[in-house]
Amino acid sequence: MARPLLEEDDAFGRLLLDHLSGDTGQLFLELDDRRAGPALPADVFSEHREWPAAERHVFESVQGRVLDVGCGAGRHALEARRRGLDVVAIDLSPGAVEVCRERGVHDVRLLPLDAVDATLGVFDTVLMMCGNFGLVGTADGAVPMLRLLHAITTPTGTIVLDSVDPYEGADAGRPRLPGAEPRSWTRAG
């Protein structure tokens, strides 16, 4: 089972906290094959009107009680709250949880995906956006995790997720950097 990150291991959370405090210098992520790119997607703090059209469209299916898995800076949780929905946001990054709280997400928890269980309650919508379906780990891990998420959703519940094909459009068969386009938005009921 995954554990929440220790603060000293939470580079993503530190990056979010720095960005929130106005320290918006650009950090780069370098992969083993020497490719590099921005470490933080530009839209991580964006408002709904600034989201890609497909993301805005799929968000229209979000309703009822919402579980935001891998909430990051909280933009999806905040939009759901703006719409009057009850939201529980989770992340394994202490920095992300702190950023969400500072931005106004009321119920945000330091909790890894594999620690999700029925004690969280029942949800009408589960969000796994911005590539967070990858948090399931392997293809073999996807089925049990989807079964668990199905068990904590209402009979008419929806799991809204996206996935990135790391090989699509990559040069010479090499994977793209995390967060690279294209994104595929899926609505499953």
Residue 49 has pLDDT above 80, yes or no: yes
What is the distance between the alpha carbons of residues 155 and 24, in angstroms, rounded to a whole number?
43
Q: Is 169 contained in some domain?
A: yes
Predicted confidence at residue 90, as pLDDT, reads: 96
Q: Would you state the pLDDT for residue 173?
A: 46
Domain that holds residue 84: 7-188
**CATH number of residue 60's parent domain:** 3.40.50.150
Residue 88: how many other CB atoms lie within 10 Å: 22
Residue with the bigger pLDDT between 57 and 35: it is 57
Q: Does residue 98 have a pLDDT over 90?
A: yes
Question: What pLDDT, on the 0 to 100 scale, is given for residue 21?
Answer: 84
Average pLDDT value over all residues in the chain: 82
Which residue has tokens 């408002």? 47
Specify the residue for token string 């909790």: 111
For residue range 99-136, what is the model confidence (pLDDT) as tens digits? 999 999 999 999 998 899 999 999 999 999 887 887 88
Cα separation values, 76 from 14, 44, 143, 152, Å:
20, 10, 24, 19
Kindly indicate the confidence band of residue 177, based on its pLDDT and cuts at 50, 70 and 90. very low
The answer to whether position 2 is within a domain reads no
pTM: 0.80
Examine residue 1 and state whether it is found in any structural domain, yes or no.
no
Whether residue 79 lies inside any domain: the answer is: yes
135-168 pLDDT, tens digit per residue, is 887 888 888 889 999 999 999 999 998 776 655 5
Q: Please give the average per-residue pLDDT across 66-93, as a whole number.
A: 96
> Is 89 a residue whose pLDDT tops 90?
yes
pLDDT at 182: 42
136 occurs within a structural domain: yes
Structural domain tally of the chain? 1
Which of 62, 183, 49, 168 shows the shortest CA–CA distance to 124?
A: 62
CA distance 94 to 99: 9
Residue 184 lies in a domain: yes
Which positions ≥6 away from 174 have C-beta within 8 Å? 33, 35, 167
Q: How far apart are CA 71 and CA 97, in angstroms?
A: 8
